[in-house]
Structure 1
Amino acid sequence: NTQKDLLKVELDQLQCHFTWAPQRENIDLDNMKQRLEDSIHLDMQYKATSYNQLAFVNCLQGKYVEAIQNLEEAEKLLRENHEDEFDERIIITYGNYAWVYYHMGQLTEAQSYLDKLERICKQFPDASRYTAMIPAVSGEKGWLLLNSGVQYYNEAMECFEMAQKKYPNNIDWNVGYAIVLSRLEGLSGATESADSRNSVNQWRRVLELDPNDAEAMVQLALKLQVFRQYEDANTLVKQALEKSPGLPYVLRYAAKLYRRARNIEKALTLLDKALKMTPKSAFLYHQKGMCYKYKIQTLKKSQGSKGSGKIDTLINDCKECFKKALELKPSFILAELGYAHICSINGEYCEAEDIYSKLLELENTCPENKQEIRFQFGLFEQNYKHSQSNAIKYFLEGFKIKHDSNSRNNCRTHLEKIAKNPQDIVAFCICGIIHMLDGEECFEKILEIELGDAE
C-alpha cells in the first residue's frame, strides 16, 4: 500500500487527462464516448487527441484494456505524424498510460511511464520532474475541457491562448481557440456585439493558415449570417459543401445555417445525410427536431385547423427526433425543452408541465440551462396557461441568475414587455427589480402581495 500511496503522490503531479479531469458527475460519459468514436471513425484531423480522451473515458468506466489500446493508437499516430516533435506531444499520452496502469494495479508498469516522462522532461528548461507545461500540453488540455461541457469553456480558452502565444501559426490551437470563442459568444448573448467579432477574426485566421478547412468556412458563415452578411455566408457554405460534401461536421453546421435562413427542406436533407454517417448523434436529431418544430409553427399560422392532418404527422416526427436525441444523450436539456414545447403546441399541457417542473429541480447544470428552463416555463405559463403572474415568477427567476446569456436577455425582454404600464404597481416592481437589483427584496415583497391579490 505504501508503494501505491507514494506512486499516487507522483501521479498527481502530472499534466494529463486524469489530473485535469472535470468532475465525473459533470460529464455525460456515454455521450462523450460516442462523439469521440464518431470522430475517430470519420478520420477527423485530431485522432490522437480523440484516442487520449477516449482512453480517459474508458478508464473511468472501468474498461482498462480498451483504455490501453486507445493509448497505443494515440502513440502510434503521434510517431507517424509528429516525428519531429514527438517528445513534446507524447507527454500527455505517457501520463495517461501511468494513470491507467495505476488503476489496473500494475504499479511497475505505471512507474516505467513515469521514468520515461522524467527522461523527456529533462529537455525542457522550465519542466518539473515528470511534466512540462509547454504549448502541446496546454493545447491538449484545452481540447479536453472544450469537450467536457460549457462550465469549462473559459478555462479551455485560456489553454488555447497559452498554446498560441509560442506557436501563433499552429492550426490545432487556432481552431480550438476559434471554436471556444464562438461557443462563449453564443452563450453570453453577445452574438451581435463588437466582442463577437473576435470569433469572426479568429475563423478568418484559421482560413489564412488553411484555406481548405471546410469546417472553418461553415463556422465563419454562421457568424457572418448573424451580422446579416448573407451573401458572404452563402458563398462560404456552398464552398464548404463542395470541398467536403461527406464531412458530418460540415453538414451539421451548414444545416444549421439553412434552418436559420428558413430553408428547412435543404437543412433536413443535409441532416439526413449526416445521420447516415453518424447515426448516434444526439445533436443531429435535435437539429432535425428544431426543423420540424419550425414547420409546425409555420403551418399553424398559415393554415390553422385546415392543416391538422399534416400538423399531426409533423408533431409525431418532431417528438420522435427529440426523443431519439434524449435516448442518445439523457442530459440533453435543450432536447427535453424542445419536447415539452411540442407537447404544449399539441395541447398536452400536463406532460409539458411535468417536464418543466422536473427540469426546475435540476441543480447540477450550468447557469445558461437554468435560465433557459425558467424562460421556457415562463413562456408556457404565459402562452398556454394564460397565467401572467406565474410567467413573471419564472422570467424573474431566470433573470436573477446573474450570468450573461441569450436566455437571461430573453427573460429581461419579456419582463419589460409586461412592465410597459408605468402606473401599474406590478410593472413598477418589475422595473425596480430589473434596474435596482440591490433593492430586490423590497420590490419582490410588494410584487408577491400584488400577484397574490390578482389571482
Structure 2
Amino acid sequence: MAQTSLKIRLQGLECHFTWKLDYSRSKLQSLRETMIDISNREGVQYSWEGYLYNFLAYLHQALGFTEDALHCLKKAEEAIRQSSQDGVELSLVVHYGNLAWVHYHQGELTESQTYVEKVGRLLRDNPSPCPGVVWGERAWTLNKFDVSKRKAAVYCFRMALKEDPENKVLRCGYAMAFNKSVDRKNITPKLRSEMLEHLRIAKELDPEDLYITVMYLQRLAESGQVEEACKLAKEVIEKPLDSFGGFGILLDFFKDYISHDSSIDLARRTLERHPDSRQLKRHLGKCYKWKIFSPEEKRNPMRHILIENAVNLYEEVVTLYPKSLAVKLELTAMYKESGRLDRADKIFEDLLLEIEGMEPQDLQKFYNWYAQYLFYAKQDASRSIDIHKKAVEIMLPTGQRDSSVRVLLSIVHNGGDRAEEIVDFLDGLDRDGQPAGDSGSAGVKDNSGSPGQAGDSGSPGQAGDSGSAGQAGDSGSAGQAADSGSAGQAGDSGSAGVMGDSGSVGVMGDSGSSGVMGDSGSSWLTQDGLAALAAQDGRETLAAQDGRDTLAALERRKALTALDRQEHL
C-alpha cells in the first residue's frame, strides 16, 4: 500500500488521532499529567481502564514519547480484553486504530497497514459503520478532554446508548457528561431536576463510584436540599477513600456547605492514607488557599501559621508538577501572603525567560497574574498597566483577558494618568475586528481550548460551552471571593483585587470560579464588584481622563454591564 493511500485510510479510522484532539502542547501536557494521576489511583473504574490507557497513549505520542505510547497501548489491550468478555475484538477497533497511527508516525508502514486491515476486517461484518463501543470510547475521551467538547461527548454517549441502552457504564458516563455539559449560569430549575434524576439513577447503578456520588450531592445542594446533601457527604467520608475521582468536587462541597476546616481535615486525612499522592497534596494546597483568602480568615491572628503551611506544601507541589504554570503562580500568591516577595520575584523572573516558548493561553494567563502582582505586591502601577495590555493583545476569549480588560477599564473610569492612552489602545483592538473584553466571542483554532469552540466531528454542529477550557479532572470549584470592594485600581480605595489584599474582590482560585484570580475561567470582579462598578457611573457612561465620553468606551461599558446581568441570571 502506497504511503499516500495508507494515510487516506488512516484518516478514515475512528480513533484518538482522528477525533480532533490536536490542541496546544501545554494543554496536552496538562492532560497527560491528569491522566497519569488517574492511572496511578487505586480503584480505577475497571470498565474505563482501557479507554484511559488508549487516551494516555495518544497524549504520549502527540508529545513525542513513542515508547511510553506503546507501553500504554499494551496496557490498554490487556484491560480491554479483561473487561470485554463478549465482542472483545470489536472493542479493540479504537485501540487498533491508535496502533496504526503510532506505527505510521514511526515510519513503520507495514505494521501500520496491518492494523488498518485489522480494523477493516472487524467492521466489515458489523451492521453499523460506527459500533456502539466506539461511540462510547469517543464519548469518554471527549468528556475528559475539554469543556468545549462536552456537548459533543453527550451526543456520542446518546449514540452509544442507542445500540446498548441497558449498558450501566454508558448510562453512568452519560449522566456525568450531561451534568458537565451546561454552564452553571445556564441551568434552569427544570434542567437541574433532569440532571439530578440522571445522577440519581447512575448512583443506584454504581453506588461505589465516588465521582457520581459527589456530583449528585452537589446537585442536591444546588437544588435547595442542602441538609440531605450534607448528610450524604458525611456518609461518604465515613469509609476510607481509595479512589480520587471527584475528590476535588467533594472538598469544594465541604468548603462551600460545611466549613473550610472540614475540607482541610478531609484532605489531610486522605493524604495520610496515601502519602505519596501528588494529586492529594495539590488538593490540600487548594484547601489551604481557599481558607487563607476567605473573609473570616483575614481577621484570624493565627493566619500566618496557615500561610506557612501552604508555602511549605506548595514548594513541594511545584517539584511534583514541574511543568505546571498554574502551580507556580499559586506559589507566588503564597509567597506574597507570607511577605517573601524575593521568592515570588524569582519565579516571575524565571517565567519571563520562558515566555517565548509559552502557548498563547498560558502566556495570557501569566501576563494577567504578573500584572496584578506588580500592582498589589510591588506597587508598580505603570508597569502593571503595560503587562495588562500584553494580556489583552492576545486575542483569546478567556477569563484572564476579561480580567485585564476590566482592570484597564476601571483605570479609565477613575481618570487615571494613562486613561486616554488605554482608551486609544482598546479602540485599536476594536478596529482590528475583535471587541475588547468580549467574552462571548467565537472560539479560536485548535490551541485555545476556550469557549465557543465549534462542535467536533461526531456532534451535529454543537457549540462549545460558555466558560473556559478548564483542566481535565476534578476542577470546577465555585471559587472563593475575598472581602468586597470596588473595582478601582491605581490607588483607588477598594480595588479589583488580587491575592487576597485587604478590601479586594478577587483572590487566587480555581478553574470555573467567579470573582477570583486563578486558572482559566476565573473573573477578577465578582458579581457584586461588577454591579458596584456599573453603579458608580449610573450604568451609562465611562469618563476618559479629560472628562469626555467616548462612544467606544460607552460600548465597552454596556458590554461589561451585560456581562453583569448575565452572571446574575
Match of 1:320 among 298, 312, 317: 312
Structure-1-length-normalised TM-score:
0.73
Structure with the larger helix share: 1
Question: Aligned pair 1:375/2:361, yes or no?
Answer: no
Indicate how the Cα distance of structure 1 residues 290 and 74 shifts in structure 2: closer, same or farther if over 3 A, else same.
Answer: closer
The one-letter code sitting in structure 1 at the alignment partner of 2:261 is: E
The one-letter code sitting in structure 2 at the alignment partner of 1:288 is: L
Structure 2: distance between partners of 1:411 and 1:177: 37
Q: Is the 8 A contact 1:91 1:137 kept in 2?
A: yes
Structure 2: distance between partners of 1:334 and 1:359: 12
Question: Aligned pair 1:345/2:337, yes or no?
Answer: yes
Match of 1:74 among 75, 79, 89: 79
Deviation larger for 20-29 or 70-79: 20-29
Question: Aligned pair 1:215/2:217, yes or no?
Answer: no
Deviation larger for 158-167 or 233-242: 233-242
Q: Is the 8 A contact 2:271 2:280 kept in 1?
A: yes
Aligned-pair distance for 1:392?
Answer: 3.7
The aligned counterpart of 2:447 is none
Q: 1:387-433 CA distances to partner (integer Å, 9 max, x unpaired)?
A: 33334444454456555544445445544554543x66755776787
Q: Is the 8 A contact 1:271 1:284 kept in 2?
A: yes
RMSD of the alignment, in Å?
Answer: 4.5
Indicate how the Cα distance of structure 1 residues 241 and 250 shifts in structure 2: closer, same or farther if over 3 A, else same.
Answer: farther
The aligned counterpart of 1:248 is 244
Structure 2: distance between partners of 1:135 and 1:435: 51
Match of 1:89 among 75, 88, 91: 91
Indicate how the Cα distance of structure 1 residues 160 and 173 shifts in structure 2: closer, same or farther if over 3 A, else same.
Answer: farther
Structure 2: distance between partners of 1:115 and 1:413: 56
The aligned counterpart of 1:25 is 25
Matches within 5 A, 1:413-452: 413-415=406-408, 417-421=410-414, 426=418, 438=430
Question: Aligned pair 1:275/2:271, yes or no?
Answer: yes
Deviation larger for 204-213 or 275-284: 275-284
Indicate how the Cα distance of structure 1 residues 329 and 280 shifts in structure 2: closer, same or farther if over 3 A, else same.
Answer: farther
Question: Aligned pair 1:154/2:153, yes or no?
Answer: no
Aligned-pair distance for 1:258?
Answer: 2.0
Structure 2: distance between partners of 1:280 and 1:226: 34
Deviation larger for 64-73 or 225-234: 225-234
The one-letter code sitting in structure 2 at the alignment partner of 1:263 is: S
Q: Is the 8 A contact 2:76 2:95 kept in 1?
A: yes
Structure 2: distance between partners of 1:440 and 1:412: 16
Q: 1:55-94 CA distances to partner (integer Å, 9 max, x unpaired)?
A: 44566341476345314313313433xx1x5454331123
Question: Aligned pair 1:138/2:135, yes or no?
Answer: yes
Q: Is the 8 A contact 1:214 1:244 kept in 2?
A: no
The aligned counterpart of 1:452 is none
The one-letter code sitting in structure 2 at the alignment partner of 1:52 is: N
Matches within 5 A, 1:174-323: 176=173, 191-194=184-187, 201-202=194-195, 204-211=197-204, 212=207, 213-222=209-218, 230-231=226-227, 233-241=229-237, 245-261=241-257, 263-275=259-271, 281-297=277-293, 301-303=298-300, 307=302, 311=304, 313-323=305-315
The aligned counterpart of 1:117 is 119
Structure 1: distance between partners of 2:398 and 2:195: 21
Q: Is the 8 A contact 1:91 1:117 kept in 2?
A: yes
Indicate how the Cα distance of structure 1 residues 297 and 37 shifts in structure 2: closer, same or farther if over 3 A, else same.
Answer: closer
* 3-state SS of paired residue (2:67): coil
Q: Is the 8 A contact 2:160 2:170 kept in 1?
A: no
Q: Is the 8 A contact 1:218 1:254 kept in 2?
A: yes
Aligned-pair distance for 1:339?
Answer: 0.3
Q: Is the 8 A contact 1:181 1:198 kept in 2?
A: no
Structure 2: distance between partners of 1:107 and 1:233: 55
Aligned-pair distance for 1:447?
Answer: 8.8
Structure 2: distance between partners of 1:102 and 1:278: 40
Aligned-pair distance for 1:238?
Answer: 3.4
The aligned counterpart of 1:333 is 325
The one-letter code sitting in structure 2 at the alignment partner of 1:291 is: C
Structure 2: distance between partners of 1:194 and 1:436: 36
* 3-state SS of paired residue (1:331): coil
Q: 1:298-355 CA distances to partner (integer Å, 9 max, x unpaired)?
A: 6973255xx4xx72x5344312332333333333222111101112122232432343
Q: Is the 8 A contact 2:368 2:404 kept in 1?
A: yes
Structure 2: distance between partners of 1:429 and 1:227: 47
* 3-state SS of paired residue (2:40): helix
Deviation larger for 155-164 or 230-239: 230-239
The aligned counterpart of 2:14 is 15
Q: Report the number of matched residues.
A: 424
Q: Could you list the runs of 5+ residues in structure 1 that have no partner in the other structure? A: 450-455
Aligned-pair distance for 1:272?
Answer: 3.0
Deviation larger for 319-328 or 340-349: 319-328
Q: Is the 8 A contact 2:202 2:212 kept in 1?
A: no
Structure 1: distance between partners of 2:150 and 2:429: 31
The aligned counterpart of 2:497 is none
* 3-state SS of paired residue (2:33): helix
Structure 2: distance between partners of 1:395 and 1:70: 46
Deviation larger for 409-418 or 376-385: 409-418
Identical-pair percentage: 21
Indicate how the Cα distance of structure 1 residues 362 and 249 shifts in structure 2: closer, same or farther if over 3 A, else same.
Answer: farther
Aligned-pair distance for 1:35?
Answer: 2.3
Question: Aligned pair 1:167/2:161, yes or no?
Answer: yes
The one-letter code sitting in structure 1 at the alignment partner of 2:123 is: C
Indicate how the Cα distance of structure 1 residues 63 and 202 shifts in structure 2: closer, same or farther if over 3 A, else same.
Answer: same
Q: Could you list the runs of 5+ residues in structure 2 that have no partner in the other structure? A: 437-542, 547-569
Q: Is the 8 A contact 1:255 1:270 kept in 2?
A: yes
The one-letter code sitting in structure 1 at the alignment partner of 2:266 is: L
The aligned counterpart of 1:387 is 380
Structure 2: distance between partners of 1:140 and 1:410: 37
The one-letter code sitting in structure 2 at the alignment partner of 1:160 is: V
The aligned counterpart of 1:62 is 67
Q: Is the 8 A contact 1:214 1:243 kept in 2?
A: no
Structure 2: distance between partners of 1:376 and 1:173: 40
